[in-house]
């Protein structure tokens, strides 16, 4: 109540007047507990961290790095060329060199910062710069691969065709380091980030897949690149927001923006997690396959050349086993057990090679040494035979044909001036006598057959038998038909002998002694 007014006031008015005249001092007491700790950390972060960042300078630098310039296009092209050459040569050092030159980190980081401050013009510019640089890199790499004599999938290329969840985390941690370095003005660390995230090699592999029309390589490398650049952009956005970079969106729009970005990140993580799970399953399957082989073939058996085709249906497994004991039922038994353990049908191809151990191995080594010595001696005999035949025929050793498996040697002799067919047959007979296990054929030049085949009544004389034998030998070596001209009875007797040796014979009646002649060519 205020006495100076001279009237009675209501209790509410009196209390209000008293509060105005004697205000209650504000409490200086600080919040306690967890809330107090959070408030203290927030205050420290705002003053000592965010307050130390020159946001205008950081944004200006990011705009400059993300600009579509001549320097950016040239360095992107050079980085792509070096990357694809390193991948084709399977040279990690060359691939790392391409990573160091790659300027793609600039526009990707620009995407994150533009998103953080809500600058849509900058966002479009960064996206355009990234797309143009990526397309140039892909096309240049595809062109180099198309004209390259080497188009095989090397280990460096294969390593970038199956991205998994680990690749996403590599990009995440690298982007955290990169964004921090850019915000805090320590951009020297960006070199290590460029190596870790490997933005250019996946683009080079995309170009390889495009040039070789390999969809698996193309899609796998493209997914790895998209994973890297989206993860880096979203991480840069989160770090920028953490350091106080803000936009003019309402709280509701900001919430929707954060939810959309989280959905993109999860959308990338899900397929990559499945890919990682598949890789883990394949690694475990390889262990199971080797374990099953180890249980089936005990030591000293050795497993060699195991190949697993996970893409086949049923899954293909092929292996070679060196074992002292051959097991005929091992292939079907292993296929059944692998199908049960892996949960997938398995088509097993097993090759068992028998080996010996202990004393048996020593005996086998001794036998191999003996065989080697015999092989050397046989080669020397073959060379000597070729030399003798070449000298007898008057030709070079390269013209002597030797069939080692059939033990047959053949050579076509040059004409010796004035030498009859009997001379060539004598040379062949002498060489054959020294090599009884071999069939020696010395093909003579086409010469005149014996003048006559003599008979004494109905029987061949000794000289007649020699003339008939020489005629038959020459006809066999030259593969020609013989014409016998003379008395019908004698001609028929000689023809039967020749035909018994597989020689084609024609008979002509005539007077005088029986005369052998060559049939005209083509008859």
Per domain, the residue ranges of the chain are 50-248, 280-358, 374-443, 455-518
Calculated CA dihedral for residues 262, 266, 268, 270, nearest 10 degrees:
180
Q: What percent of the chain has pLDDT over 90?
A: 8
Number of other residues whose CB lies within 10 A of the CB of residue 102: 26
Q: What pLDDT, on the 0 to 100 scale, is given for residue 132?
A: 93
Q: What pLDDT, on the 0 to 100 scale, is given for residue 203?
A: 92
Distance CA 110, CA 66 (A): 6
CB 247 within 8 A of CB 117: yes
Q: Which two tokens stand for residue 497?
A: 């002998």
| Range with top average pLDDT, 138-147, 233-242, 374-383 | 138-147
Strand partners, 403: 408
Q: What band does 8 get if pLDDT is binned at 50, 70 and 90?
A: very low
Distance CA 154, CA 397 (A): 46
Distance CA 488, CA 508 (A): 8
Q: What pLDDT, on the 0 to 100 scale, is given for residue 135?
A: 93
CB 302 within 8 A of CB 321: yes
Please compute Rg for the chain using Cα positions: 47
Tell me which of 181-190, 374-383, 444-453 is least confident: 181-190
Distance CA 201, CA 228 (A): 11
Q: Which residue has the higher pLDDT, 244 or 145?
A: 145
Q: What pLDDT, on the 0 to 100 scale, is given for residue 206?
A: 93
Cis peptide before 314 (omega within 30 of 0): yes
Sheet holding 302-309, edge to edge: 302-309, 315-323, 346-354
Q: What pLDDT, on the 0 to 100 scale, is given for residue 210?
A: 92
Distance CA 171, CA 174 (A): 5
Number of other residues whose CB lies within 10 A of the CB of residue 391: 12
Q: What is the mean predicted confidence (pLDDT) over 507-521? A: 86
Q: What is the mean predicted confidence (pLDDT) over 438-460? A: 87
Q: What pLDDT, on the 0 to 100 scale, is given for residue 388?
A: 83
Q: What pLDDT, on the 0 to 100 scale, is given for residue 140?
A: 93
- Domain over 280-358 is classified CATH 3.30.565.10: no
CB 415 within 8 A of CB 448: no
The CATH code for residues 374-443 is 3.30.300
Cα angle 159, 218, 286; round to 5: 40
Q: What band does 298 get if pLDDT is binned at 50, 70 and 90?
A: confident
Distance CA 174, CA 431 (A): 82
Residue 9: pLDDT over 50: no
Maximum distance among all alpha carbons in the chain?
187
Provide the whole-model pTM.
Answer: 0.51
Q: Determine if residue 512 is left, alpha or beta; phi over 0 gives left, psi from -120 to 50 gives alpha, anything else beta.
A: left
Q: What band does 275 get if pLDDT is binned at 50, 70 and 90?
A: low
| Range with top average pLDDT, 50-64, 87-101, 174-188 | 87-101
Distance CA 439, CA 430 (A): 12
Q: Find how far residue 23's CA is from the centre of its chain.
A: 84
Best CA proximity match to 421, nearest among 385, 386, 391, 466:
466
Distance CA 33, CA 21 (A): 35
Residue 48: pLDDT over 50: yes
Distance CA 382, CA 376 (A): 10
What's the mean pLDDT when you consider all of the chain? 79
Residue 253: pLDDT over 70: no
Q: Which two tokens stand for residue 29?
A: 């007491």
Q: What pLDDT, on the 0 to 100 scale, is given for residue 40?
A: 74
Q: Which residue has the higher pLDDT, 76 or 372?
A: 76
What stretches of 241-345 adopt beta strand conformation (E)? 302-309, 315-323
Q: What pLDDT, on the 0 to 100 scale, is given for residue 208?
A: 93
Query: Which of helix, strand or coil describes residue 222?
Result: helix
Q: What is the mean predicted confidence (pLDDT) over 253-272? A: 64
Q: What band does 11 get if pLDDT is binned at 50, 70 and 90?
A: very low
Q: Find how far residue 66's CA is from the centre of its chain.
A: 37
Q: What band does 362 get if pLDDT is binned at 50, 70 and 90?
A: low
Q: What is the mean predicted confidence (pLDDT) over 113-120? A: 82
Residue 6: pLDDT over 60: no
Q: What band does 2 get if pLDDT is binned at 50, 70 and 90?
A: very low
Name the phi and psi angles at 249, rounded to 5: -75, 155
Q: What pLDDT, on the 0 to 100 scale, is given for residue 405?
A: 76
Query: Which of helix, strand or coil describes residue 13?
Result: helix
Distance CA 149, CA 53 (A): 52
| Range with top average pLDDT, 88-97, 127-136, 239-248, 502-511 | 127-136
Q: What pLDDT, on the 0 to 100 scale, is given for residue 245?
A: 78
Q: What pLDDT, on the 0 to 100 scale, is given for residue 15?
A: 45
Distance CA 106, CA 111 (A): 9
Q: What pLDDT, on the 0 to 100 scale, is given for residue 521?
A: 73
Q: What band does 264 get if pLDDT is binned at 50, 70 and 90?
A: low
β-pairing verdict for 515-518 and 482-486: antiparallel
Q: What pLDDT, on the 0 to 100 scale, is given for residue 235?
A: 85
Q: What percent of the chain has pLDDT over 70?
A: 79
Best CA proximity match to 129, nearest among 116, 143, 149, 114:
114
Q: What pLDDT, on the 0 to 100 scale, is given for residue 24?
A: 44
Strand partners, 409: 402, 440
Distance CA 66, CA 103 (A): 9
Tell me which of 195-199, 224-228, 364-368 is least confident: 364-368
Tell me which of 121-125, 232-236, 298-302 is least confident: 298-302
Q: What is the mean predicted confidence (pLDDT) over 189-214? A: 78
Q: What pLDDT, on the 0 to 100 scale, is given for residue 33?
A: 67
């Amino acid at each position: 109540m205020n006495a100076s007014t001279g009237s009675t006031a209501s209790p509410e008015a009196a209390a209000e007047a008293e509060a105005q005249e004697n205000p209650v001092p504000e409490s200086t007491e600080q919040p306690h507990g967890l809330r107090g700790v959070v408030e203290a950390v927030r205050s420290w972060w705002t003053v000592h961290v965010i307050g130390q960042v020159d946001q205008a300078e950081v944004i200006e630098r990011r705009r400059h790095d993300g600009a579509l310039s001549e320097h950016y296009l040239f360095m992107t092209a050079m980085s792509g060329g070096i990357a694809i050459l390193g991948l084709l040569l399977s040279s990690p050092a060359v691939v790392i060199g391409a990573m160091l030159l790659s300027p793609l980190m600039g526009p990707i980081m620009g995407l994150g910062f533009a998103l953080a401050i809500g600058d849509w013009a900058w966002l479009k510019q960064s996206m355009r710069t990234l797309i143009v640089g990526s397309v140039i890199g892909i096309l240049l790499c595809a062109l180099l691969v198309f004209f390259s004599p080497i188009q095989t999938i090397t280990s460096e290329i294969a390593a970038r065709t199956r991205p998994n969840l680990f690749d996403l985390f590599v990009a995440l941690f690298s982007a955290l380091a990169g964004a921090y370095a850019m915000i805090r003005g320590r951009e020297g660390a960006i070199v290590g980030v460029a190596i870790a995230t490997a933005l250019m090699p996946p683009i080079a592999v995309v170009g390889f897949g495009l040039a070789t029309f390999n969809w698996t390589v193309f899609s796998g490398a493209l997914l790895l690149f998209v994973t890297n650049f989206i993860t880096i952009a979203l991480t840069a956005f989160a770090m920028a927001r953490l350091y106080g970079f803000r936009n003019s969106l309402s709280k509701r729009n900001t919430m929707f923006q954060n939810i959309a970005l989280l959905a993109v990140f999860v959308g990338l993580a899900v397929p990559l997690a499945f890919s990682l799970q598949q890789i883990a399953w394949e690694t475990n399957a390889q262990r199971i396959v080797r374990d099953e082989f180890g249980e089936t073939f005990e030591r000293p058996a050795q497993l060699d050349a195991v190949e697993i085709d996970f893409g086949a249906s049923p899954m293909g497994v092929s292996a070679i086993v060196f074992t002292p004991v051959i097991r005929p039922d091992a292939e079907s038994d292993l296929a059944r057990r692998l199908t049960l353990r892996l949960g997938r049908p398995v088509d097993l191809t097993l090759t068992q090679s028998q080996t010996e151990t202990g004393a048996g191995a020593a005996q086998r080594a001794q036998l191999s040494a003996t065989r080697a010595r015999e092989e050397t001696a046989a080669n020397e005999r073959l060379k000597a035979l070729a030399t003798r035949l070449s000298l007898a025929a008057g030709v070079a050793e390269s013209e002597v044909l030797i069939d080692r498996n059939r033990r047959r040697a053949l050579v076509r002799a040059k004409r010796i001036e004035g030498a009859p067919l009997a001379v060539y047959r004598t040379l062949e007979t002498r060489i054959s006598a020294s090599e009884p296990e071999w069939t020696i054929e010395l093909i003579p030049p086409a010469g005149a057959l014996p003048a006559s085949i003599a008979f004494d009544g109905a029987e061949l004389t000794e000289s007649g038998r020699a003339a008939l034998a020489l005629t038959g030998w020459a006809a066999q070596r030259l593969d020609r038909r013989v014409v016998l001209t003379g008395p019908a009875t004698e001609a028929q007797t000689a023809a039967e002998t020749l035909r018994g040796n597989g020689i084609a014979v024609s008979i002509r009646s005539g007077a005088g002694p029986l005369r052998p002649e060559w049939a005209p060519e083509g008859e």
